[in-house]
């Protein structure tokens, strides 16, 4: 039986992490953790609302499913004698009615900054991470701890000189606000506006990476690390002007929001790195953590989450062939290995994983694929509302094939 620590961070953009291809921002701590872990290249959240994402993690149900009466992750673990701990810096990030199932609950409180920090160690995140470590040190085996933090979503209090570090000669001064921007940004707008914001966001990611470096250093010398799995993922990405908006009011279900990082570190695998293109979603963490705890038999029949352990142990290449990201009142989307269909007022179809940014819709040129994806999406929505993932019909061969 493994212990588990799950670290859920809000607002981390996948393309701002070195392990996911970024060469502009230095993220050595994340990259080292990725080297020791399984890195999931195709991890998409079911929704862009953090409490909905956490509900999926804790119930194994998709947001379109009714999870009423289904036992939560904490309830199952508690009944099996596993100590459960929830640490957060904001109750707004999680479904409180499920959070109360954890035996121990800690609200981490740190001073809310009004100005950028003078030093990285004085930042809001540094204060929060220090308090999280203090909570973890009191844990007894077996345990499952969830740490759910604002991450890089807010506040943005990275030191000004760190923001300036990402500016080249002749660049505009970096954005110095503590409150993240939420504003339209069109192709005709001054690119210096976006550049200044990108510099500030990059600095905030660096602050997070420094915190992860300190966390990893503590974890590696902690006596329980040799029997503890570590899961780190983002609750949603932060849109940075890719589709006409900077901030949370961006058009939903584009990749900058739903396609997020996930690394899963098993102690017995270290330091063997694994990179997988397998499709995965937050509800998959529910059965995976139960499997790590020897409780896979307790997964409810109607849960759509799939156990990722066979991928982590390299017994399987994948455990699912489709994902269904959603947004309150629509739109809905369907992701397969090779295609991403966004069913908005003007339906869009993107080739994956090539078109990561969702910039080049081929819905007009591949109308037969778009039609098949729309049909598969409608079937998925109906099945999720009425049954479970097991009831899904097979995918049309047209959308299982790699586009030429």
Given a cut of 70, whether residue 388 has pLDDT beyond it is: no
Give, as one character, the DSSP assignment of residue 44: B
> What's the Cα-to-Cα distance from 97 to each of 30, 74, 283, rounded to whole Å?
32, 12, 18
Give the model's pLDDT for residue 102.
Answer: 98
Give the model's pLDDT for residue 7.
Answer: 98
Which has more pLDDT, 280 or 313?
280
Give, as one character, the DSSP assignment of residue 259: B
Q: At 19, list the tokens.
A: 């392990």
Dump pLDDT digits (tens) for 342-352. Answer: 999 999 999 99
Q: Give the CA count within 13 Å in the CB-facing half-sphere of 176.
A: 9
- Provide the mean pLDDT of the chain: 95
**How far is the C-alpha of 150 from the C-alpha of 125, rounded, in Å?**
9
**Nearest one of 238, 305, 318 to 42, comparing CA atoms:** 318
Classify strands 143-149 and 83-88 as parallel, antiparallel or unpaired.
parallel
> What's the Cα-to-Cα distance from 171 to each of 167, 197, 198, 205, 294, rounded to whole Å?
6, 12, 12, 20, 54
**Nearest one of 297, 299, 292 to 313, comparing CA atoms:** 292
Give the model's pLDDT for residue 351.
Answer: 97
Q: Are 392 and 383 in contact (CB under 8 A)?
A: yes
Q: Are 341 and 333 in contact (CB under 8 A)?
A: yes
Residues forming a β-bridge with 85: 104, 145
Tell me the average pLDDT across 204-223: 98
| Beta strand spans in 294-390 (E) | 332-335, 339-343, 348-351
Preceding peptide of 142 cis, ω within 30°: yes
Given a cut of 70, whether residue 212 has pLDDT beyond it is: yes
Classify strands 3-9 and 143-149 as parallel, antiparallel or unpaired.
parallel
**Nearest one of 211, 230, 11, 12 to 108, comparing CA atoms:** 211
Q: Give the CA count within 13 Å in the CB-facing half-sphere of 186.
A: 2
**Which domains, from first to last, does the chain contain?**
3-312 (3.40.720.10), 332-399 (no CATH)
Give the model's pLDDT for residue 378.
Answer: 95
**Nearest one of 207, 201, 193, 265 to 237, comparing CA atoms:** 201
Q: At 67, list the tokens.
A: 């999870």
Tell me the average pLDDT across 87-95: 97
Dump pLDDT digits (tens) for 158-181. Answer: 999 999 999 999 999 999 999 999
> What's the Cα-to-Cα distance from 264 to each of 3, 234, 341, rounded to whole Å?
13, 12, 27
For residue 345, give every residue at least 6 positions away whose Cβ sits within 8 Å of its Cβ, in sequence order, or none. none
For residue 361, give every residue at least 6 positions away whose Cβ sits within 8 Å of its Cβ, in sequence order, or none. 348, 349, 350
Tell me the average pLDDT across 241-256: 96
Give the model's pLDDT for residue 72.
Answer: 98
Tell me the average pLDDT across 125-154: 97
Dump pLDDT digits (tens) for 366-387. Answer: 999 999 999 999 999 999 988 7
Taking 3-state DSSP, the helix, strand and coil percentages for the chain, each rounded to the nearest 5, stand at 35, 15, 50
For residue 245, give every residue at least 6 positions away whose Cβ sits within 8 Å of its Cβ, in sequence order, or none. 183, 184, 185, 239, 251
**How far is the C-alpha of 370 from the C-alpha of 357, rounded, in Å?**
18
Tell me the average pLDDT across 2-25: 96
Give the model's pLDDT for residue 270.
Answer: 61
Confidence bin at 135 (pLDDT 50/70/90) = very high
Given a cut of 90, whether residue 296 has pLDDT beyond it is: yes
Confidence bin at 317 (pLDDT 50/70/90) = very high
Q: At 306, list the tokens.
A: 């799939």
Confidence bin at 330 (pLDDT 50/70/90) = confident
Confidence bin at 391 (pLDDT 50/70/90) = confident
Percent of all residues in the chain with a pLDDT value above 70, rounded to a whole number: 99
Given a cut of 70, whether residue 120 has pLDDT beyond it is: yes
Q: At 390, list the tokens.
A: 């097991």
Tell me the average pLDDT across 81-101: 97
Q: Are 36 and 270 in contact (CB under 8 A)?
A: yes
Give the model's pLDDT for residue 119.
Answer: 97
Given a cut of 80, whether residue 305 has pLDDT beyond it is: yes
Give the model's pLDDT for residue 60.
Answer: 97
Tell me the average pLDDT across 176-204: 96
Percent of all residues in the chain with a pLDDT value above 90, rounded to a whole number: 91
Range in 175-179, 257-261, 264-268 the model is least confident about: 264-268
Confidence bin at 271 (pLDDT 50/70/90) = low
In degrees, rounded to 5, the angle at the alpha carbon of residue 82 between the alpha carbons of residues 78 and 88 is 80
Given a cut of 90, whether residue 268 has pLDDT beyond it is: no
């Amino acid at each position: 039986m493994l212990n588990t620590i799950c670290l859920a961070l809000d607002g981390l953009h996948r393309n701002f992490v070195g392990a996911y291809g970024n060469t502009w921002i230095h993220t050595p701590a994340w990259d080292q953790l990725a080297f020791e872990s399984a890195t999931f290249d195709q991890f998409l959240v079911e929704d862009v609302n953090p409490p909905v994402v956490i509900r999926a993690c804790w119930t194994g149900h998709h947001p379109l499913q009714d999870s009423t009466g289904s036992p939560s992750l904490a309830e199952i673990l508690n009944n099996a004698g596993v100590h459960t701990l929830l640490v957060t810096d904001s109750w707004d990030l999680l479904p409180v009615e499920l959070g109360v199932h954890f035996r121990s609950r800690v609200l981490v409180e740190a001073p809310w900054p009004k100005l950028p920090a003078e030093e990285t160690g004085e930042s809001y995140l540094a204060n929060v991470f220090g308090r999280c470590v203090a909570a973890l040190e009191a844990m007894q085996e077996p345990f499952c701890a969830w740490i759910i933090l604002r991450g890089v979503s807010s506040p943005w209090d990275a030191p000004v000189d760190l923001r300036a570090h990402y500016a080249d000669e002749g660049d505009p001064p970096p954005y110095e606000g503590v409150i993240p921007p939420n504003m339209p940004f069109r192709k005709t707008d001054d690119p210096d506006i976006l550049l200044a914001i990108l510099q500030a966001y990059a600095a905030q990611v660096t602050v997070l990476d420094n915190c992860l470096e300190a966390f990893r250093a503590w974890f590696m010398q902690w006596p329980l690390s040799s029997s503890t799995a570590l899961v780190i993922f983002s609750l949603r990405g932060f849109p940075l002007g890719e589709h006409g908006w900077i901030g949370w009011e961006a058009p939903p279900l584009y990749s900058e929001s739903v396609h997020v990082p996930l690394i899963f570190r098993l102690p017995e695998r270290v330091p063997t790195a694994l990179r997988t293109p397998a499709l995965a979603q937050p509800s998959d963490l529910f059965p995976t953590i139960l499997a790590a705890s020897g409780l896979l038999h307790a997964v409810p029949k109607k849960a759509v989450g799939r156990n990722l352990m066979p991928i982590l142990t390299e017994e399987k290449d994948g455990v699912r062939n489709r994902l269904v990201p959603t947004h309150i009142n629509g739109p809905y989307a369907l992701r397969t290995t090779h295609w991403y269909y966004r069913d908005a007022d003007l339906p869009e179809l993107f080739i994956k994983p090539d078109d990561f940014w969702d910039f080049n819709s081929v819905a007009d040129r591949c109308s037969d694929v778009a039609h098949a994806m729309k049909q598969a999406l409608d079937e998925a929505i109906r099945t999720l509302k009425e049954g479970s993932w097991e009831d899904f019909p097979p995918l049309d061969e047209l959308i299982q094939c790699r586009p030429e």
